[in-house]
Amino acid sequence: MLSVERSGYYAWLKRIPGKRELANNSLDLKITSLFRVNQQRYGAPRITNELKANNEICSKNRVARRMKYLKLRAKAKRKFRVTTDSKHNLPIAPNLLNRNFHATQPNQKYVGDITYVWTNEGWLYLAVVIDLYSRAVIGWSIQPTMTRQLVCDALTMALWRRGFPRGVLFHSDRGSQYCSSDYQKLLKKYGFTSSMSRKGNCWDNSVAESFFNSLKIELIYDYRYKTREEAKQSIFHYIEAYYNRVRRHSAIGSIAPLVFEKQRVGLV
């Protein structure tokens, strides 16, 4: 039926696999396991780093070839979508960050942003605060309305977790929530300096945008949440159990944000 000679088939059964084939088979099992454990979120670079962390000697190119052979492809990125409401007459801060996303210590530079998540009960809005030193999400808030309280709660969480630091440069877009008097008062109370992106320029806050892109590709686009509570629990687990503690980040040497902080400054 398969147009294979009977003698050739039995010869194939008796053939002893070579060392290279056995090594590839072993590597394929490990790659497939890591790919599934990380829910198809990892491509060849992160899979390679995971393998090396487990004392597996291999190159990124070899892992890429094996993943291609196994037809394993990480979830693809999508373009940024602008969600900022900047049509207001509130005071706007200058762009002091100026795309300098490097920080030499914790609590030196924070960035914040808002995104939205659809559920069968309606929209949910997520605000986050990210420390540029480690790219850890140190504050976040989820609410059914996109108000100034949403961003104030996210910043308040960050303040509590970081021991109420002072003198931090906080960068955001120029949305009405970040320009509100309540939010600006909260920044001034702790001696924060406000910085805001230029109008309609998402690249001025690309670290926060990149986090939301990863969140949606690696989690949200795979689900149709029935309730807001279900979405909250899912996002909570992604941020606190996976992104901060497990997911490797290329900007900090391909280790997880809180692992990076523990290794460098012993914060965790």
**Spatial separation of the C-alpha atoms in residues 142 and 225, rounded to whole Å:** 14
pLDDT value of residue 36: 78
pLDDT band with cut points at 50, 70 and 90 for residue 80: very low
Q: What is the pLDDT of residue 47?
A: 79
Q: pTM score, two decimals? A: 0.75
User: Concatenated DSSP letters for 228-244?
Assistant: HHHHHHHHHIIIIIIIT
Q: How far is CA 78 from CA 47, 52, 61, 210, in A?
A: 21, 29, 24, 10
Q: What percent of the chain has pLDDT over 70?
A: 90
Residues 6+ apart with CB under 8 A from 69: 28
From CA 27, how far away is CA 124, in angstroms rounded?
A: 41
Q: What is the pLDDT of residue 225?
A: 94
Strand partners for 53:
none
What is the Cα–Cα distance from 179 to 197, expressed in whole angstroms? Answer: 12
**DSSP-derived pairing of the beta strands 193-196 and 122-131:** unpaired
Q: What is the CA radius of gyration of the chain?
A: 23
**DSSP string for residues in 157-215:** HHHHHTT---S-EEEE---HHHHSHHHHHHHHHTT-EEEEPPTT-GGGGHHHHHHHHHH
What are the structure tokens assigned to 83, written together? 């969600």
Torsion of Cα atoms, 143 then 80 then 219 then 121, to 10°: 40
Return the pLDDT at 23: 73
Mean pLDDT, all residues of the chain: 87
Residue 211 CA to residue 220 CA, distance in Å, equals 12
Nearest to 170 by CA among 178, 162, 160: 178
Tell me the H-state helices in the chain: 6-14, 19-37, 44-53, 60-70, 148-161, 176-179, 181-189, 206-218, 228-236, 257-264
Q: Which residue do the tokens 């909250």 mark? A: 232
Lowest mean pLDDT among 58-62, 93-97, 236-240: 58-62
163 backbone dihedrals φ, ψ, rounded to 5°: 75, 30
Confidence of residue 115 (pLDDT cuts 50, 70, 90): very high
